[in-house]
Structure 1
Amino acid sequence: MKRKVNTKGSPTCSSSKAVKVPRLDSLSQINLNAAGLDVGDREIYACVPSGRTEQSVRVFPTFTADLNALAQWLRECQVTTVAMESTGVYWIPIFQILESQGFEVYLVNARYIKNVTGKKTDILDCQWIQQLHTYGLLHKSFRPDEATCVLRALVRHREMLLRYRASHIQHIQKVLQQMNLKLTNVISDVTPSDWTTHYSGYIVRSARPQGISQASRSSLS
């Protein structure tokens, strides 16, 4: 397939076009009191605007007392908004503590930060996040309010317990078959209930269909 050639003899492609990427120094700073966090399992790298303290980058452990110390340091540096990547579940306690202490927290998709071009090789990730947040180039991910988060956690925990319940029921049925207790031939539901708790000893001793049936009828009737 031949490509089209313009009048000057150089090949052209109609489906592509040049994209001009703005330089950070050509943009206006929007969030002057912005900080950037690089969150990990054991350590948090925090960067604040230059000139607020002797060292604009500090490293904090991830224990609760250290997270409160991080919030106190950010407050001393007059930081009002903080940006960080949504890395695993490490961000959750940091997000909750900072938000509860009045900071505007930006939870940003890590893929979006990596796709932004222009990062220099001699700066840390927390410095790059702080720069992007200063120039307003980061968009926060949606996170519901605290009440909704609690309700969502309870619903997810209930769903997990129901999945565990199904596997445990299958395990009970398998063990009963191995012991030659034909409980499933008489009763459709072998899950623990009042009658199984009350008559379990009698059923195990007799292990006969009529005994099982009689015990179940006396409770279920």
Structure 2
Amino acid sequence: MRNVLGRKTDVAAASWIAQLTQHGLVTPSFVPPKGIREARMFTHYHKAQIDERGREAQRLDQVLQDAGVQLSWIAADILGLSGRAMMAAFMEGTRDPQVLSDLAKGKIPLLTASPSSSTTRAPSAPVCWSCPTPRSAATSPTCATPTPRPCRRR
């Protein structure tokens, strides 16, 4: 019906469409079975929940930044394991950057304390993944640290 030119809302067009339907010339719309409809409903609901979790994470990050805590500078996912642990310690009153950085898990940059601010980010120079050696300070393809894994400086 959508390929037929002209308006389909007036009385004459409505009676013409009714005659076509009576003679079986109009194909009905596809209505999926109940199982597929439920699967679609759960998929849409799941996507809405994921989107809402992202919006809540952004709201939380904004509230933290308004309070002067820039956790998103350090942890990419503030609702991840490290971010939640740092927030919990911060709410308990911990302000020591070394204690907060000890709560970091995985590939979170090192924290350093500066005399003028409470917590700052590590220098932006590229660092080895397995040790805190800057790339410019290293001359060999492996780190000087006693780790068995070689440095990834390529």
TM score, norm. by length of structure 1: 0.36
Higher strand proportion: 1
Return the TM-score normalized by structure 2.
0.49
